[in-house]
Structure 1
C-alpha cells in the first residue's frame, strides 16, 4: 500500500515538474502604427499619359500578431484630409464630393477579417476597406514582412509593404473614368512598434 502510494506521488511529482518546465505560450503582441514611417500611396493612369502617384500623410492604428499561433488583426485609419498630390490646388479638388468628399467622410478605414500566414510570416491580410462611407472586401498582399528589435527604440517592431488594386467607382468616386483610370493601386509602407 505504501509502495503504491509512493509510486503515485512520484508520478504526480514528475507530471508537475514536466508541466512547469514547458515553455509559456507566446501571447499576442500589439503594435502601434508609427505615423512617421507609415504612408498609404495610390497610383492611377492619367489619360494614358502617365501614372500619377500620391499619398496620405496621416495614418494611425494597431496591428496585433501572434506569430507562433499564426493569428493576427489589423485596424488602420487614414485621414483623407492629409492627401498629398504634390499640388495644393489638386489636394483641395480631390477632397470634393466627386472624389473623397472629406467634409462628410474625413477618414478611411481598413479592418482585417483574417491574416494569412506562410510559416511564421504573414503574406496577406483579408479585410474590409471603407472609403467615402462604402465598405468593400479586399485582400492586401504583402511583398515583405519583418519583425525585429527596433534599432533606435528598445522595443520590438514590425514592418511591411502591402498592395491592393481597387476600383474608384466601387466607392462612389469614379468621375472621369475611364479616361482617368477607374482602377487605383494602393501601396502601403507600414512600420509599427510594440506597446
Structure 2
C-alpha cells in the first residue's frame, strides 16, 4: 500500500473519530416548558405541592452512545405555593434562604438507559450550601422534530425523593414531613 493510500486511510479514520466524538447534540432548556415542583405531607392531613416558575440550563445527549448530561438551575425566588405568605416563608432562611442562595442546581453525572429509553439520571443536587447525590427516576422521555420551533426538541419527566434535613431545611418537622418528592418536567430545544 502506497504512502498516499495510508495517509488517506488515516485521514478517513480521524474524520470518523471526530464525527463520533461530536455526535452529542446540545439543547437549551426551554424555560416556558420546564418546571420543577415538590410535594410534602402537611400535618398528616394532606399532600401539599409547590413549584418553581423559573429554570435555565442545558441538555447534552448522544442517543447512539446512550450518554448525556443535564444541568438545570432553578431560581429559588420563583417558588410558588399559591399563597403569598407561604411563598415568603419558603424564601426565608427557614427554608430556601433565597436571598443568600438564589440558585438550586442539578448537575448530572450519568445517564442510564433501558434499551433506547432513558430510565434514570444520576447527579448532584445543590440546595443552599449543601450538595448531595440523587437519582432521578425518568417516567417519560422523547425527542422529536418540533414544527413550532423548526428544530429538534427533547423532553422528559422524572422524580426523586430527598430529606429536607439533608439540606438544612428541617423547620417544622415532624408536622411538615422531612421527606419531600421532587418532580421535574424538562424540555430542551436543539441549539443551532
TM-score by structure 2 length?
A: 0.89
Compare 141-150 and 112-121 and name the one that shifted more. Answer: 112-121
**Counterparts of residues 44-123 of structure 1 (less than 5 Å):** 44-123=40-119
Aligned-partner SS, 1:148 = strand
Q: Within the alignment, does 1:193 sit opposite 2:168 as a pair?
A: no
- Structure 2 segments unaligned to the other structure (5+ residues): none
In 1, the alpha carbon distance for the partners of 2:152 and 2:132 equals: 32
Aligned-partner SS, 2:85 = helix
Which residue, 164, 169, 175 being the options, matches 1:179? 175
**Structural RMSD (CA):** 1.9
The residue number in structure 2 matching 1:5 is none
Which residue, 152, 155, 159 being the options, matches 2:155? 159
The residue number in structure 1 matching 2:24 is 28
Aligned-partner SS, 1:128 = strand
Instruction: Give 4+ residue runs of structure 1 displaced > 6 Å after superposition.
Output: none
* 8 Å CA contact retained: 1:159, 1:190: yes
1:55 deviates by: 0.3
Aligned-partner SS, 1:103 = coil
Aligned length: 182
* 8 Å CA contact retained: 1:98, 1:173: yes
1:178 deviates by: 1.4
- Cα deviation 1:132-175 (Å, max 9, x = unaligned): 11000000110010010013111100010010010000000001
TM-score by structure 1 length?
A: 0.88
Larger radius of gyration: 1
